[in-house]
């Protein structure tokens, strides 16, 4: 089964950039969500999503809260999660790792870095 990404970001611009980057590295199956709450709804309703790329800073439900929600949700806890965020402080990264994100990208990113991180995650899960 191919990869179907859920791209979660409150910025329309960033969702488009992540989607374009995914297309440029050969992935063209993805859905989008504007915040963590919408992401959870999409994950609940679409069982074919098998990879989550999420921002951290979002209204309603943040990316970190989304990661924690996914990890405690029995049916979807195994889904790989890649955090793509502007937060680059040590404590942020450690907090994300504690919440069990699979990998972490600091914005601005290149499609090459995105590919590298996706490949690393796929190789490790």
Partner 1 sequence: MENQSSMEQVFQKLGDLKQFFVFGQKIVPVFQKIIDFMHDIVPLLENVNNSIHDTTSKIPKAANQINNVTNATEVATSEILDIVDSMSMDMTRIKNELMDLRNGFFNQRVVLERFGEDFKHHNGTYENLKSSLSIDELESRVVALDSIIRKIENDSSNITISLQVQDITSQQLASVNHLIQSVQKRLASLLFDLGKQTDAVLPGIESSGEIDTRSFNENAEYDRSGKHQAFVDTLINNSQKASQEEIDKLFTK
* Site residues (vs partner 1, CB under 8 A): 9-14, 16-17, 20-21, 24, 56-60, 62, 85-91, 93-95, 97-98, 103-111, 113
Minimum distance from CB of 60 to partner 1 (Å)? 8
For residue 124, the surrounding DSSP H or E stretch is: helix 111-124
In angstroms, the CA 27 to CA 37 distance is 25
Beta carbon of residue 89, minimum distance to partner 1 (angstroms, whole number)? 7
What angle (nearest 5°) sits at the alpha carbon of residue 41, between those of residues 35 and 45?
140
Rounded least distance, CB 85 to partner 1, Å: 7
């Amino acid at each position: 089964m191919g990869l179907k990404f859920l791209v979660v970001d409150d910025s329309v611009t960033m969702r488009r950039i992540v989607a374009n980057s995914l297309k440029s590295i050969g992935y063209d199956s993805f859905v989008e969500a504007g915040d963590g709450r919408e992401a959870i709804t999409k994950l609940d309703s679409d069982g074919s999503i098998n990879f989550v790329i999420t921002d951290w800073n979002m209204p309603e439900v943040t990316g970190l809260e989304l990661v924690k929600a996914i990890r405690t949700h029995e049916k979807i806890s195994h889904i790989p999660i890649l955090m793509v965020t502007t937060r680059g402080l040590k404590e942020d990264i450690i907090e994300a790792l504690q919440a069990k994100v699979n990998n972490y990208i600091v914005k601005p990113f290149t499609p090459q870095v995105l590919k590298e991180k996706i490949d690393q995650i796929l190789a490790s899960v």
